[in-house]
Amino acid sequence: MGSMYGNQMGNGSMYGFSNNGSQMNMGSMYSQGGMGSLYGLGGMGSMYRPVGSMYGMGGAGQTSAYNFAAQWGSLANMSQQTGEMSEDGRRSSISGKGGFGKNSKITTEDLCPNIGTFEDGRPIKRSGKRGGNRLYSKDKNDTTAPVVTSSSQASAMTIKRKTSGSSFQSAATRSTGTTATTKDGKTRAKVPANFDVHTLLVVGQDKGSYVTVRDPNAVVFQSGGKKETFECDEALEQTSDSEDVDSVLLSGLRGNWFGGHNSSLLVAAGKGKTEASYNLARGFIDTCLQRLETNEKDASTVFDITITMCAIKNGDTGKDLLGSGDYKKLKLASSPIYGPCLNDLTTKTTKKSAETLKVFNGGLSAAKDKKDIICAFLVLKQIKKVGSGTEVHLSSLCVALFQEEVANLVSLKDKSSSSPHKLFRYALGGPSVCCSALCVSNSDEKARDGLEAERKVREVKNREPRSGNVKKFIGYTEKEIARQKEKLSSASDSEKKSIEKRVASMESMVKDAQEMQDNPEKTAPKGYAM
Cα dihedral across residues 397, 330, 80, 349: positive or negative = negative
Distance from the Cα of residue 50 to its chain's centroid: 25
DSSP 418-439: TS-TTTTTTTTTSBSEEEEEEE
Please tell me the distance from the alpha carbon of residue 204 to that of residue 441, in angstroms, as a whole number: 5
Using CA atoms, how far residue 504 sits from 209, 212, 223, 364, in Å, is 63, 59, 62, 41
Go through the chain and tell me how many residues it has.
Answer: 530
DSSP annotation string for 182-213: -TTS-EEE--BSS-B-EEEEEEE-SS--SEEE
DSSP string, 82-147: -SPBPTTSPBPTTSSTTS--EEEE--TTTSS-----GGGSPP----SBTTBS--EEPPTT--PPPP
Q: Which of 476 and 75 is assigned the larger pLDDT?
A: 476
Q: Is the pLDDT of residue 294 over 60?
A: yes
Closest CA relative to residue 479, chosen from 68, 111, 113, 58: 68
Model confidence at 51: pLDDT above 70: no
Of 490, 524, 487, nearest in space to 502 by CA: 487
What is the CB-side half-sphere exposure of residue 194 using CA atoms within 13 A?
Answer: 18
Count how many Cα atoms sit within 13 Å of the Cα of residue 375 in the half-sphere of its side chain: 30
Nearest to 3 by CA among 510, 529, 490, 346: 490
pLDDT tier for residue 186 given thresholds of 50, 70 and 90: confident
Domain boundaries, the chain: 7-85+103-124+469-529, 136-311+324-457
**Secondary structure element (H or E) that encloses residue 291, with its range:** helix 274-295
Q: Which of 56-60, 153-157, 445-449 has the lowest mean pLDDT?
A: 56-60
pLDDT for position 112: 40
Distance CA 71, CA 131 (A): 19
List the single range of 70-79, 223-232, 492-501, 509-518 with lowest mean pLDDT: 70-79
Rounded CA separation 251/278 (Å): 18
Tell me the HSE value of 196 on the side-chain side, using a 13 A CA sphere. 23
Taking CA 119 as the corner, what is the angle to CA 47 and CA 4, rounded to the nearest 5 degrees? 50
254 close to 246: Cβ distance less than 8 angstroms: no
In 402-429, which positions are buried (b, 16+ CB within 10 angstroms) versus exposed (e)? Answer: bbbbbbbbbbbbebeeebbbbbbbbbbb
Q: What is the reported pLDDT for 179?
A: 67
Calpha distance 432→28 (Å, rounded): 16
CA dist 184 → 162, 180, 361 (Å) = 15, 11, 36
Q: How far apart are CA 441 and CA 232, in angstroms?
A: 16
Asked whether the beta carbons of 267 and 400 are under 8 A apart, the reply is: yes
Cβ atoms of residues 493 and 69 within 8 Å: no
For residue 142, give the amino acid letter: D
pLDDT of 354 strictly over 60: yes
Number of C-beta neighbours around residue 469 at 10 A: 25
- Express each pLDDT in 163-176 by its tens digit: 333 322 232 333 34
Q: What are phi and psi of 129, to 5 degrees?
A: -95, 140
Quick count: other Cβ atoms within 10 Å of Cβ 505?
26
Q: Which CATH architecture has domain 136-311+324-457?
A: 3-Layer(aba) Sandwich (3.40)
- Kindly report, residue by residue over 105-130, the tens digit of the pLDDT: 444 333 443 333 333 444 444 444 44
342: left (phi over 0), alpha (psi -120 to 50) or beta: beta
Coil/strand/helix, residue 358: helix
Segment 5-20, tens digit of pLDDT: 344 333 443 333 333 4
Higher-confidence residue of 138 and 317: namely 317
Instruction: Give the DSSP H/E element, type plus range, for residue 393.
Output: strand 389-403
Show Cβ contacts of residue 449 under 8 Å, excluding neighbours closer than 6 positions: 270, 406, 407
For residue 316, the SS3 value is coil
How far CA 105 is from CA of 29, 33, 78, 528, in Å, comes to 17, 25, 5, 6
pLDDT in tens, 229-284: 999 999 999 999 999 999 999 999 999 999 999 999 999 999 999 999 999 999 99
DSSP 8-state symbol, 522: G
